[in-house]
Amino acid sequence: MKYVFRKVLIFLLTAWITLTINFILPRLMPGNPALAMIAKFKGRLSVQALHSLQVAFGINPDQSALTQYFHYLGQVLTGNFGVSLAYYPNTVAQEVAIHMPWTIGLVGIITIFSFIGGTMLGISSGWKRNSLGSAINVPVSIFLNAVPYFWIALVLQYVFAFALGWFPLTGAFAVSGPTGLALVGSILYHAVLPALTIFITSLGGWVLTMRNNMLNVLGEDYVTFAFAKGLPDNVIKNNYVARNALLPNFTGFAIAIGLIVSGALLTEIVFSYPGVGYLIFQAVINLDYPLMQALFFFITMAILVANLLADLAYVFLDPRVRLGAE
Amino acid sequence: MEYILVLLRNRKAMVGVVTILLFAIIAIFAPLIAPYPPTYMGFDQVLPPSAKHLFGTTATGQDVFSQIVWGTRLTLLVGLLSGLFVTVISTVIGVVAGYLGGIVDEILMILTNVFLIIPGLPLMIILSTYMPVKGMWTIILVITVTGWAWGARMIRPQVMSLKSRDFVKASVVIGESPFHIIAADILPNVVGLIVAQFFAAAVYGVLSEAGLEFLGLGNASAISWGTVLYWADNGQAILFGLWTWLLVPGLLIALFGGALAMMNFAVDEMVNPRLKKR
């Protein structure tokens, strides 16, 4: 119980710190970007949009910083993030709702595939550490882990979209506006290269961490004992080693699930894929501060919640946590 | 000396050391290797690779090969410096939290957990957008702020376990100052872990720098592999079929990052006996 209480407390604390960072950051920056923005947009922005800028930056001269802070917290808690500047007159919440499904569909599915695939590879290369498979697996994973992932996107785009012309260069569906089954096909067709990019670049990390966990568990006494008892290799591999090696990876997987919401930033940008990552980039280049603030809030919250759920799940998964041992 | 010999016997470490040295040589002798000044814009635009322009020319008529050679300097510098700063901060926080324990440890660990959980890339992007000055030091600062937490969390438990060993307790009993104990008894025993963390942090630095520069959040007129990629993407290198302009910088980033990662793994294998080859 103490464990659960502690995790929830840390969750609340982190959430509050994130909110506060989000509030303070724009106010810390020298040269107040908002005043420049307001001068730039004057006459072109509605009163409403100007107001959301003012709230984001706290340049309301009538209010003290503390009043602004509580006003800000209140707005966030009621889900009111103001009006987007780049996509005016849409509100920030509307824009997020438009882009979120693309990201969750693309990144979500691939994250799960890559976790399963990478874990399988990691198990086999940790179990047979001197095999040929392991000898190829490990350096390739290290290399893939160090590749800038937008570059893989550029390479795939160059080879398969430009040079070979097998797949579309950019976008999420055909501009001709297909409907029904044709639309589904078009969406899948456009998702192939971004999906491949995310899969390739995220696989290596899972392989390496799973392999290291396997090696660590293989050094435990109970594994040696299992061998000494003469248990079949497969039983030891799956029930004794892999099962326990998977446990530390669970948090990593939970965070990856939370990270889905932030999208595959650079991949989406390269393929102009209309997900959240692309939206962040649009917010940045258009200096759409209300949108940036809201996106950062959503992304962090998603990870916080995923992490909290993982921590709570450990109560069921790991008896050591349940019994209160550290 | 002993460390170095052990290092050279490891195949991963050999590959890593040789690759990093190679890039260091290119960076140091860039003025001799590059045939043209990297910012000179007088060549014909978007030329394909040829003997005169090994990797072709850019959309503004610069020699890509010269840019890549000069770019080695900034990329290596940012990678290694941010790796260094990240390592220093995570070591200080990890050691202080692990050694002092108690309330200081609690506070530092909560801080670490907060930074561990806030997503790095979005925070980096937002920080660099807000920064009034764009350039190398901004990027290093942003990478350091977002990157130190992981190392701190790795180092702390090691320090905690060392603190309970007899030789450290002996130092406490004979009245050595905490600074002396940390410097003489603790740090030498976590040095392997710190070195491994340095290489991991440098990989993070190199990749983050490339990503930020690619998004145009650095100083786009500085020359690094990241900015070469930024201009390649903005200059429609794909549509002109200029694959060298697009592919070479990314490949080099991957090679350099891979070399650093190899070092990280090699040092890890030496420190953690379970990972050692049997």
Q: Does a cis peptide bond (omega within 30 degrees of 0) precede residue A89?
A: yes
Banded pLDDT at A53 (limits 50, 70, 90): low
Query: What contacts A223, CB < 8 A, 6 or more positions away?
Result: A217, A236, A240, A241
Q: Which residue, B218, B193, B187, is CA-closest to B205?
A: B218
Question: For residue A167, which of A150, A148, A185, A147 has the smallest C-alpha distance?
Answer: A185
Mean pLDDT of chain B: 83
Which chain A residues contact residue B254 at CB under 8 A?
143, 146-148, 151
User: Which tokens sit at B148?
Assistant: 């130190």
CA distance A77 to A81: 10
Q: Cβ A157–B277 below 8 Å, yes or no?
A: no
Write out the two tokens for B117. 């959980």
The distance in angstroms from the start CA to the end CA of chain B is 24
Q: Tell me: the pLDDT tens digits for B90-108?
A: 999 999 998 888 888 888 8
Query: Which pLDDT band holds residue A42 (cuts at 50, 70, 90)?
Result: low
* CA-angle at A213, arms to A209 and A219, nearest 5°: 150
Cα–Cα distance for residue pair A270/A153, rounded to 1 Å: 7
CA gap B97, B90 in Å, rounded: 10
Which two structure tokens, joined as six digits, stand for B13?
């470490």
Cβ atoms of residues B256 and B75 within 8 Å:
yes
Q: Please check whether residue B151 is in contact with residue B98, taking contact to mean a CB–CB distance below 8 angstroms.
A: no
Of B203, B216, B238, Cβ closest to residue A157: B238
> Which chain A residues contact residue B160 at CB under 8 A?
none
Closest CA to A292 of B126, B265, B134, B46: B126
Residue B86 has pLDDT above 90, yes or no: yes
For residues B221 and A320, the model is more confident at: B221
Short-list B96, B101, B105, B110, CA closest to B164:
B101
Q: What is the mean pLDDT of chain A?
A: 79
Is it the case that residue B67 has pLDDT exceeding 70? yes
Nearest-CB residue to B258 (from A33, A146, A158): A146
Ranking A258-272, B21-35, B51-65, B147-161 by mean pLDDT, the lowest is B51-65
Cβ-nearest to B119 among A150, A259, A266: A259
Question: Which of A154, A208, A216, A272 is the best residue to mutate to test the B interface, defined by the most B CB atoms within 10 Å of its own CB?
Answer: A154
For residue A31, pLDDT beyond 70 = no
Q: How far is B175 from chain A (nearest CA, A)?
A: 31
Q: Is the dihedral of CA A180, A186, A189, A194 positive or negative?
A: negative
Q: How confident is the model at residue B85 (pLDDT cuts 50, 70, 90)?
A: very high
Whole-number percent of chain B with pLDDT over 70: 94
| Residue-wise DSSP of A22-41 | HHHHHHHSTT-HHHHHHHHH
User: How large is the average pLDDT for residues B61-78?
Assistant: 84
Name, in order, each residue with C-beta under 8 angstroms of A299's C-beta and a sequence gap of 6 or more: A259, A261, A262, A276, B119, B122
Query: Is residue A226's pLDDT more than 70?
Result: yes
Residue in A150, A216, A295 nearest the CB of B274: A216
Residue A32 has pLDDT above 60, yes or no: no
Which band of pLDDT confidence, cut at 50, 70 and 90, is reported for residue A326? very low
pLDDT of residue A263: 65
Are A2 and A324 contacting, i.e. CB atoms less than 8 angstroms apart?
yes
pLDDT at A287 over 90: no
Separation between Cα atoms, residue B274 and residue A241, nearest integer Å: 14
**What pTM does this model have?**
0.81
Dihedral angle computed from the Cα positions of residues A11, A17, A23 and A28, in that order, rounded to the nearest 10 degrees: -160
Q: What percent of chain B has pLDDT over 90?
A: 9
What distance in Å separates the CA atoms of residue B255 and residue B259, rounded to the nearest whole number? 6
Averaged pLDDT, B202-217: 87
A148: Cβ contacts below 8 Å, ≥ 6 apart: A266, B207, B210, B211, B214, B250, B253, B254, B257
Note the pLDDT of residue B82: 93
Q: Are the Cβ atoms of A142 and B207 closer than 8 angstroms? A: no
Out of A31, A150, A295, the one facing B132 most closely (by C-beta) is A31
Q: What are the helix and strand counts (H, E) for chain B?
A: 13, 0
pLDDT in tens, B51-61: 777 777 777 77
Rounded average pLDDT over A147-176: 80
* A119-160 pLDDT tens trace: 988 888 888 877 777 777 777 888 887 888 888 888 888 888
Comparing CB atoms, the residue among B121, B241, B274 nearest residue A265 is B121
Question: Torsion-angle region of residue B133: left (phi > 0), alpha (psi -120 to 50) or beta?
Answer: beta
Asked if B217's CB is within 8 angstroms of A147's CB, the reply is no
Residues of B in contact with A280 (CB under 8 A): 122, 125
Work out the average pLDDT over B193-198.
88
pLDDT at B277 over 60: no
Chain A residues lying within 8 Å of B12, measured CB to CB: 139
Q: What number is the average pLDDT over the span A174-189?
A: 73
Residue A304 makes CB contacts below 8 A (sequence gap 6+) with A11, A14, A15, A18, A258, B117
Residue corresponding to tokens 């007159």 = A89
In whole angstroms, how far apart are CA B11 and each of A142, B138, B266, B270, B277? 14, 36, 8, 12, 11
**Are B257 and A147 in contact (CB < 8 Å)?**
yes
Query: What three-state secondary structure class fits B164?
Result: coil
Task: Give the residue-averaged pLDDT of A290-294.
Answer: 82
Report pLDDT digits (tens) over B130-177: 777 778 888 898 899 888 988 898 888 888 888 888 888 888 888 888
Yes or no, beta carbons of A146 and B215 under 8 Å apart: no
Cβ(A306)–Cβ(A132) under 8 Å?
no
pLDDT of residue B227: 84
Is residue B241 exposed (0-12), middle (13-18) or buried (19+ Cβ within 10 Å)? middle
Shortest distance, CA A320 to any CA of chain B (angstroms): 18
Minimal Cα distance from B119: which residue of A? A300
Query: How far is Cα B234 from Cα B249, in angstroms, rounded to an integer?
Result: 15
Whether pLDDT at A12 is above 80:
yes
Q: What value does the mean pLDDT take over residues B109-126?
A: 81
Q: What is the pLDDT of residue B83?
A: 93
- Looking at residue B164, its pLDDT comes to 83
pLDDT of A260 over the 90 cut: no
The secondary structure of residue B274, as a DSSP letter, is G
How many CA within 13 A on the CB side of residue B57?
20
Predicted confidence (pLDDT) at residue A30 exceeds the cutoff of 60: no
User: For the residues B57-73, what does the mean pLDDT come to?
Assistant: 79
Q: Which residues of A touch B215 (CB under 8 A)?
A: 266, 269, 281, 284
List the beta bridge partners of residue A91: A83
- Top residue of A18, A103, A142 to mutate, by most chain B CBs within 10 Å, is A142
Give residue B84's pLDDT: 95
Q: What share of chain A in percent tops pLDDT 70? A: 83
Q: Note the helical H segments in chain A.
A: 2-28, 33-41, 47-57, 65-77, 92-103, 109-127, 132-146, 149-156, 180-218, 221-228, 233-235, 243-259, 265-270, 276-285, 289-317, 319-322
